[in-house]
Chains A and B, each alone.
Chain A
Amino acid sequence: MLRRERVRLALSLQQAWQQGQQQKYDLVLPLSTIFQPYMKRLRAAENTLTKARQHGLGLIEPLLLDAVKSEARSLRITLQDHEGCHFPQRYPFPLRDFYRDLIQLEEEFPAVRVDWEESLLIVETDTIILEALELGHFTMRLNWDWWARHGNLDCLRVIAEEPHPSELNDEVPHPHVRSGELCSGEALPALEKSLREGRLAEFFLLAWAVLTNYNPASAYVRLDEWQGIPCYDCGEVINPEERSYCERCDHEYCSNCISSCSGCDAIRCHSCLTDCSVCQQPCCGNCLETSAVSEQQLCRHCQGTCPSCHTTIGPDDVHAETGLCPDCHQNLNEENSDETVSTAVS
């Protein structure tokens, strides 16, 4: 950046900062407005006391005196409470400090440039590599008009210049950046303070520190999922909204490779479901039972019980006439034939 441009930029930044400072002062209510109600109540208590004294009402005087003291105390406490926080501190920040901050930024970062039309101070970072994943280089863009008007962190946008966004969300080029917005986490108080005090070099260094660190506990997209998670069955990369989890085998699947049990609606992958031998509906292990007679796997709808021995049987196992399982039916037949024989003998 040429010296002349740096001076012009420093001047613009200083003006924006001063405008923001002035707005802070303009927003502050006069102290008299805050204390007026307290003063009014104190005056009223004093008037009552004075009148009571004038009329010689000695008995009530201690009570009224206490009321005056109480109102005076409220006023004093309110004054003290507002003393520390009511008056925003004025930070002297001369033009040369903005100028020096720009020089420092040029020394700390690969490039610093300015977009006059958009009122942007643009600071370019080195390539950012987190956990061996190259995310490319970014630009941190401070909009000084926004800074002047609002003074908050929204004046900063972080743009990926060679984006390698997450497979799961192309608005996330960095675990802590989404749609150009830096989510600063524990850096937020210090970032806001440096912005408030016009210390731009520190502001960008802090933002840079956030970009060069990774907090897996609070990332838009975790780095171990950056390339997406493959479906355990077909291998297709799936985003979080389309991802389903099979509790039985503890794997994640795409929507094509996951289904649900027709009996209890439990979500299961295809491998963890078995078709009912009768109706061919997929069922989880809890909803299937093996027939005591055949090897058939039976869902709850297709399961029957032999009325005699109470074992589980399928519709094909039931004898059409007696409704019994084959063993019980055979036993019944044998009993019947024995009875016939004995009747014939007798």
Chain B
Amino acid sequence: MKVFYINNHGGGFADTIEIPEDQTVGQFFNERLPGSKPQDYLIRVNRLPSSADQVLSEQDRISISPTKIMGAAWAA
């Protein structure tokens, strides 16, 4: 099934992707950001907070934004 995935980590990624049926948010996160801690990210499904065991549905909008991100003293 297709979902719209927004990853705000690094350069940012936003596109429709194909995922297996009945995939949970936790599985999706581990697959997309292996080795990362979910508590370091804001995970929103259809703009709402979600639990790790929430099952994703067709056309869902999943956004993952880092909460630990380093600012600087000058623009890059």
- Tell me whether A and B are bound partners: yes
A interface, CB within 8 angstroms of B: 100-101, 103-104, 107, 153, 175-176, 178, 181-190, 192-194, 197, 199, 201-202, 205-206, 209-215, 218-220
Contact A199–B14 (Cβ < 8 Å): yes
> Closest chain A residue to B42 by CB distance?
A205
Bound complex: CA A213 to CA B42 (Å): 14
Bound complex: CA A175 to CA B48 (Å): 30
**What chain A residues lie within 8 Å of B3 (beta carbons)?**
none
Interface of chain A, main secondary structure: helix
> Closest chain A residue to B47 by CB distance?
A104
Contact B75–A206 (Cβ < 8 Å): no
Which of the residues A181, A202, A209 comes within 8 Å of B6, measured between beta carbons?
Answer: A202
Bound complex: CA A215 to CA B12 (Å): 21
Interface size class of B (residues with CB under 8 A): 20 to 34
B interface, CB within 8 angstroms of A: 6, 8-12, 14, 42, 44, 47-48, 63, 65-76
Bound complex: CA A190 to CA B68 (Å): 13
The verdict on A176 contacting B65 (CB below 8 Å), with A189-B12, A194-B12 known, is no
Contact A175–B8 (Cβ < 8 Å): no
Contact B47–A201 (Cβ < 8 Å): yes
- Rounded to whole Å, the gap between the CB of B16 and the closest CB of chain A is 11
Bound complex: CA A186 to CA B42 (Å): 17
**What chain B residues lie within 8 Å of A193 (beta carbons)?**
11-12, 14
Bound complex: CA A170 to CA B47 (Å): 37
Contact A103–B47 (Cβ < 8 Å): yes
**What chain B residues lie within 8 Å of A220 (beta carbons)?**
73
Which of the residues B8, B44, B47, B72 comes within 8 Å of A206, measured between beta carbons?
Answer: B8
**A205-B8, A209-B42, A209-B65 are known contacts; what are 9 more A-B pairs with Cβ within 8 Å?**
A175-B73, A183-B71, A183-B72, A184-B75, A188-B75, A188-B76, A189-B12, A197-B14, A218-B70
**What chain B residues lie within 8 Å of A100 (beta carbons)?**
47
Contact B68–A209 (Cβ < 8 Å): yes
Contact B71–A187 (Cβ < 8 Å): yes
> Closest chain A residue to B70 by CB distance?
A215
Q: Among B12, B42, B75, which residue has the most Cβ atoms of chain A within 10 A?
A: B12
Contact B73–A218 (Cβ < 8 Å): yes
Contact A206–B65 (Cβ < 8 Å): yes
| Interchain Cβ contacts under 8 Å between A and B, 28 examples | A100-B47, A103-B47, A104-B47, A175-B71, A176-B71, A176-B72, A183-B73, A183-B75, A184-B71, A184-B75, A185-B72, A186-B69, A186-B70, A187-B70, A187-B71, A189-B11, A190-B12, A193-B12, A201-B63, A205-B8, A205-B65, A206-B69, A209-B67, A210-B69, A213-B68, A213-B71, A214-B71, A218-B74
Bound complex: CA A219 to CA B48 (Å): 33
Counting from the closest, the 5 A-B pairs by CB-CB distance are A176-B71, A185-B72, A193-B12, A190-B12, A215-B70
**What chain A residues lie within 8 Å of B70 (beta carbons)?**
185-187, 210, 213, 215, 218
**What chain B residues lie within 8 Å of A214 (beta carbons)?**
71
Bound complex: CA A202 to CA B71 (Å): 16
